[in-house]
Each structure stands twice: as C-alpha cells, then as structure tokens.
Amino acid sequence: MIQVSNIHKAFGSNQVLKGIDLTIHKGQVVVILGPSGSGKTTFLRCLNALEIPDQGVIAFDDGSLTVDFATKPKKKTLLALQRKAGMVFQSYNLFPHKTALENLMLGPTVVQGQSKAQAREQALALLEKVGLSDKADLYPFQLSGGQQQRVGIARALAIEPSLLLFDEPTSALDPELVQDVLGTMKQLASEGWTMVVVTHEINFARDVADHVVLIEDGVVVEEGSAQQLFEDSKHPRTQAFLQRIVQ
C-alpha cells in the first residue's frame, strides 16, 4: 500500500493542490478524473517527484521509503521515489535519436547499473509484451503515435517500478490508435500492476478502475468505486462533471 497524505503544491501565488490524500493499494487501478486545470497532472507528477510538493508525505507501507516533503528531501530520497514510480507521459517523451530498444535500455543501464546484455534481454521481452518485438530497431519517427506510447509503457516497466503512473496516455493519439494503448493498459491491470491513471477515457474507468477519484480546484471532491461514482455519486460537482463528459 502507498499512503499519500496532505499534498500541497503552488506555483507562485497559484495554489494548485490544496491537501490531497489518497490511499493506493497494491494491485489497484486508481483512475483520476477532473476538468482541465484541476490539478490532476500536477498531483501525478508529485507522486514521482517530477514536481516537488511544498508539503505532504508519500509512504510505502513495506517500510522501504517515506518521503516527507516538508523537510526538503535529499536528492537521494527523491531518486529513490522516482525509481519506484514509472511514468507514462501524454506526449511519449521518447529520445528521438535512440531506437525503441535503446530507449528501453537507458534507464536500467544508466540508473540501475544493469549490464547492457541484461538490459537488452529485458527490453526485448518488454517490447514483445506490448506487441512491438518487430519494432526494436526503429526510431520514434518511424513509429505511429500508438506504437510510441506502447514503447513508453514498456520503458516505464523497464525500471521494475512499484507504481505505474499514466498521464492522459491516449489524449495525443488518433482515435483508431487509442484501443491499442488501452488494451496494453488493461493487460497490465489484469497482471496486478499498481496503476494511477489520469484520463478522460470513461469506458476505461468503468471497466478497469478499482477506485475513481474526482479532483477539482486542487481538492478531492469525491472518491469511491467506479460503480459508486458513475451510478450513485453523492456530490453535485461530481454529477455536473459526469454530465459534461459522459455521452
């Protein structure tokens, strides 16, 4: 279990996160919903220290890591958090001058100190896992958006994280490519990966999420099971949001 407590984040005078609490159980798929500008992506980036919260705590219940941001964590502590949380970005963020295989090998060799042979073997297995074993030697510009995103997912898996973070992974894709990426994510969910997903894909949330959280104006408005939020939400702001996005 991962306990996230009282996360605050401001950019100048703009208070983006105003005390977010979230409990993430092992093997759980948590989907975060909310309108644009609500703080969803900022919160996700705080979970692996791409953004440094102004205060709050992230604690892993196995005792392996507790990060208290009020005490200005050391770089070593922040790196440990980043190694526990693999991020899949909206815009892929692959290195354009490296092949798919090389993109996957980079983290394990540079960050984790694996041998190139070990990292290559693992990278090839991960490319096969996401259905891209025949694309290992291609560069990002030679891949479709959906293929690039699946390489991004495989790259996140390469560091063997405790937590997978997805920042609107299908929003930059053409509609016909969305299902390939969602299919890969559903496969990971079925394998028991712990995932936090910021998305507007309501059907994915209905079908796959164990827990759904609505964030608006930097606070958690409502949370619960997918069934609870989509069929029996209690908060008027949740109901208004869902009416806007559910067709």
Kindly list the domain boundaries of the chain, sorted by start residue.
2-245
Q: Could you tell me the pTM of the whole model?
A: 0.92
pLDDT tier at 241 (50, 70, 90 boundaries)? confident
Which token pair is 132?
A: 């891209």
CATH code of domain 2-245: 3.40.50.300
pLDDT at 149 exceeding the cut of 70? yes
**Positive or negative torsion for Cα 90, 173, 154, 168:** positive
**Rounded to whole angstroms, how far apart are CA atoms 106 and 155?**
9
129 phi-psi bin (left φ>0, alpha ψ -120 to 50, beta other): alpha
Q: What is the pLDDT of residues 174-221, one digit of tens each?
A: 888 888 999 999 999 999 999 999 998 888 888 899 999 999 999 999
pLDDT tier for residue 247 given thresholds of 50, 70 and 90: low
pLDDT at 53: 97
